[in-house]
């Protein structure tokens, strides 16, 4: 099986590459990234003959398609702004595709390519990290066991125990989390979609130890783009997503937004114009804060929870599933990086082995089998816990 990982030297992409490299069924991996030096350094550190590297600008569809030619699967780990570009290249190259998410609006645009992928006999899985991704598959497990569904709540919480950790470090895309903090969130309420301000509707949630109690808030997220339609036949009325960390976790990010550092709009300084967001990204890179600095090993954990409320045989029922994951110390990556990259690798391998037969552009809840997914996650220290009455535990 040959897999091309675009953005494979990035924060989460490199975890997918490491997992693919550990699989005996994957014979060839091409890591393609726009950052040449970073990519060379990463691939060299793996010491694996089956992992090669190259540079690519995915906005060039023909050049990207040439790299994807003869690959079984394209794993897209580039910034979500370019998801459509990569999908078009995958269509030209005739390869299956998956990505890590589209932050709602991009996901909706991607779904419009459904007919193109169907006609080509290809599958594109959109949003296959942990949240979105595993969260979608956990929701599918629960929805399938109920006669009707009223509400789905997705909650995500984390806690960092890293000794001597910098006060601020980016463990996933800076562009994505600044979008989450600046764009209105979407909430599906009483059968209708509505916008709410980001980092609002706060509540306190208790997750398994050592995470414990955290504050969570609503942000823009991709599950909202597909759950209402995927589960329409079960009568779904409400879907909402909230995330958070230790008390006050959101304050630094809110300060970044308030100072204007999250803005993509050019700011003129003398005769030069620069995007504050681009400046902030370069500043973090210069201080080795895109991921933990090289002299620090991450020690954190995260839990993603899905609660599905509905009825079975006329009786009100709530089913809860959680996936728990920790930093991978030997890889020197945080739980957020590991939790996104590993599920992407698992589903890339499912696609390559023909274990996903549905064709078209599909969210994970409509094509990834929960039993197989949970089994593969468990092998990689990402156990899924199901809390449900005994009659549901088959």
180 or 226, greater pLDDT? 226
Contact of 172 with 336, CB cutoff 8 Å: yes
Q: Would the pLDDT of 141 be above 80? A: yes
Residue appearing with tokens 């209708």: 192
pLDDT score of 170? 80
Q: Is 238 helix (H, G, I), strand (E, B) or coil?
A: strand
Residue 264 confidence class, pLDDT cut points 50, 70, 90:
confident
Mean pLDDT of the chain: 94
Average pLDDT over residues 131-150: 98
What residues have CB less than 8 Å from 172, skipping those under 6 apart?
Answer: 11, 12, 336, 337, 340
Contact of 98 with 125, CB cutoff 8 Å: yes
Contact of 71 with 3, CB cutoff 8 Å: yes
The predicted model scores a pTM of 0.95
Average pLDDT over residues 290-309: 92
Contact of 110 with 361, CB cutoff 8 Å: yes
pLDDT score of 165? 81
Bond preceding residue 210 cis, omega within 30 of 0: yes
Residue spans of alpha helices (H) in the chain: 13-21, 36-46, 61-68, 83-93, 105-111, 114-119, 134-143, 174-182, 223-230, 251-258, 276-286, 335-352, 370-379
Average pLDDT over residues 6-35: 96
* pLDDT, tens digit, 9 for 90 and up, residues 270-286: 888 989 888 888 898 89
Q: Would the pLDDT of 164 be above 80? A: yes
Paired residues of 195 in beta bridges: 186
The CB density around residue 101, as the number of other CB atoms within 10 Å, is 26
Cα separation, 6 vs 79, in Å, equals 10
* pLDDT, tens digit, 9 for 90 and up, residues 28-72: 999 999 999 999 999 999 999 999 999 999 999 999 999 999 999
pLDDT score of 284? 87
The CB density around residue 198, as the number of other CB atoms within 10 Å, is 20
The tokens describing 203, both together, are 């509540």
pLDDT score of 248? 67
- Lowest mean pLDDT: which of 60-64, 171-175, 193-197, 339-343? 171-175
- Lowest mean pLDDT: which of 47-56, 182-191, 258-267, 322-331? 258-267
Judge whether 2-130+338-377 and 134-335 match in fold.
no
Q: What is the CATH number of domain 2-130+338-377?
A: 3.40.50.720
* pLDDT, tens digit, 9 for 90 and up, residues 363-386: 999 999 999 999 999 999 999 999
153 or 288, greater pLDDT? 153
Average pLDDT over residues 13-24: 97
Give domain limits for the chain: 2-130+338-377, 134-335
Q: Which CATH superfamily is 134-335 part of?
A: Dihydrodipicolinate Reductase; domain 2 (3.30.360.10)
Q: What are phi and psi of 5, to 5 degrees?
A: -110, 105
pLDDT score of 293? 83
Residue 247 confidence class, pLDDT cut points 50, 70, 90:
low
Contact of 392 with 313, CB cutoff 8 Å: no
- Distances, alpha carbon 182 to alpha carbons 254, 255, 391, in Å: 9, 11, 43
pLDDT score of 261? 87
What residues have CB less than 8 Å from 230, skipping those under 6 apart?
Answer: 140, 363, 365, 366
């Amino acid at each position: 099986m040959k897999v091309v990982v675009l953005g494979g030297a990035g924060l989460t992409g490199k975890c997918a590459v490491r997992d693919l490299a550990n699989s005996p069924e994957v014979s060839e991996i091409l890591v393609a990234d726009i950052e040449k030096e970073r990519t060379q350094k990463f691939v060299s550190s793996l010491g694996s003959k089956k992992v090669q590297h190259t540079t690519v600008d995915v906005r060039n569809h023909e050049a990207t398609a040439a790299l994807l030619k003869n690959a079984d699967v394209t794993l897209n780990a580039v910034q979500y702004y370019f998801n459509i570009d990569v999908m078009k290249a995958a269509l030209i190259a005739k390869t299956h595709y998956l990505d890590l998410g589209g932050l709602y609006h991009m996901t909706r645009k991607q779904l419009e390519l459904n007919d193109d992928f169907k006609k080509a006999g290809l599958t594109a899985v959109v949003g296959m990290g942990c949240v979105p991704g595993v969260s979608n598959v956990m929701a599918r497990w629960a929805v399938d066991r109920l006669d009707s569904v009223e509400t789905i709540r997705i909650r995500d919480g984390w806690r960092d125990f890293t000794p001597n950790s910098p006060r601020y470090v980016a463990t996933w895309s800076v562009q994505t989390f600044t979008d989450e903090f600046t764009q209105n969130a979407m909430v599906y309420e009483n059968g209708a979609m509505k916008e709410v301000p980001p980092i609002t509707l706060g509540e306190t949630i208790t997750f398994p130890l050592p995470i414990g109690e955290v504050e969570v808030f609503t942000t823009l997220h991709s599950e909202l783009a597909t759950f209402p339609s995927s589960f329409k036949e079960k009568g779904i009325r409400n879907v909402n997503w909230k995330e958070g960390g230790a008390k006050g976790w959101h304050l630094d990010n809110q300060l970044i937004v308030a100072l204007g550092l999250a803005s993509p709009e050019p700011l003129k300084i003398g005769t030069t114009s620069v995007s504050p967001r681009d400046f902030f990204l370069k500043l973090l890179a210069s201080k080795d804060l895109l991921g933990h600095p090289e002299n620090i090993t991450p020690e954190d954990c995260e839990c993603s929870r899905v609660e599905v409320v509905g009825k079975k045989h006329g009786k009100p029922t709530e089913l809860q599933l959680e996936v728990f994951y920790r930093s991978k110390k030997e890889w020197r990556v945080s739980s957020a990086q590991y939790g996104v990259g590993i599920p992407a690798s698992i589903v890339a391998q499912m696609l390559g082995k023909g274990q996903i037969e549905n064709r078209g552009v599909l969210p994970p809840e409509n094509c990834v089998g929960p039993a197989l997914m949970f089994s593969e996650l468990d092998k990689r220290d990402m156990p899924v816990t199901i809390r449900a009455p005994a009659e549901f535990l088959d």
